[in-house]
Amino acid sequence: MSVKNDFKAFAISSNANVPSQQNYETYPNLLVGFPDNQYIPNHILNKILRQASTISSAVADFIATESGTDVLDDGNVTKITAQFKSVLDKKIAKCCNLNVNTANKVVNGWWKCGDTGIIIQWGQANGCGAINDYRNFPISFPNACFQIVATYSEFENFGAGVAALPVSASQFIVTCRNSAYQLASNFVRYVAIGY
């Protein structure tokens, strides 16, 4: 069921009997109001009603759309004010209470996206000496590590290659092999991503 907005804009058709905005802004009584017992041209009254009703219709439509409740012309100012305040409070909370990115900017550090929960970690480690010689991430990934990549820390240290693999949300293995394809404890740098 769609929500109802009783507040309708007045004289909004393209052929409405209203003065141009430029003429309206130069109308002599615009700033002081109408004097007593003076004839007021209909096109001026239409313009006044159109301006007031258009903005009230737009605000009422915003309230109805964002709150999912009817906005009724029943004279209940308190109810409309409460609906408007509720919508604004929700909008402000959504804008101002954004999740904050956090980081630990050190050699073995991490960065966490407050909105998505994605975590990027980096660091340095020595190559593992055995298949169960694991290294720890700076922090555990709450769910899983998607991928880890590693490379030698210096060009002179290269050998047959470096391989890195996450073994859990908190640990990984990194192997280095020298030019004879033997495990070596070379110093490596790594980057890992997970959530």
Q: What is the pLDDT of residue 161?
A: 86
Long-range contacts of 41-45 (CB under 8 A, 24+ apart): 42/17, 43/17, 43/18, 43/19, 44/19
Q: Which fold has domain 102-194?
A: Immunoglobulin-like (2.60.40)
Looking at residue 100, its pLDDT comes to 82
* Domain boundaries along the sequence of the chain: 21-96, 102-194
pLDDT of residue 5: 94
Give the separation between CA 20 and CA 96, rounded to whole angstroms. Answer: 40
Other CB atoms within 10 Å distance of the CB of residue 115 = 9
pLDDT at 164: 95
Closest C-alpha among 169, 135, 170 to residue 150: 135
Q: Mean pLDDT of successive 10-residue segments in the chain (195 residues)?
A: 91 96 94 92 96 96 94 94 94 77 96 95 92 94 98 77 95 90 88 99
Q: What is the pLDDT of residue 157?
A: 63
Q: Give the separation between CA 80 and CA 73, rounded to whole angstroms.
A: 9
- pLDDT value for 97: 65
Give the per-residue pLDDT at 180.
Answer: 84
Question: How is residue 120 written in tokens?
Answer: 């990027």
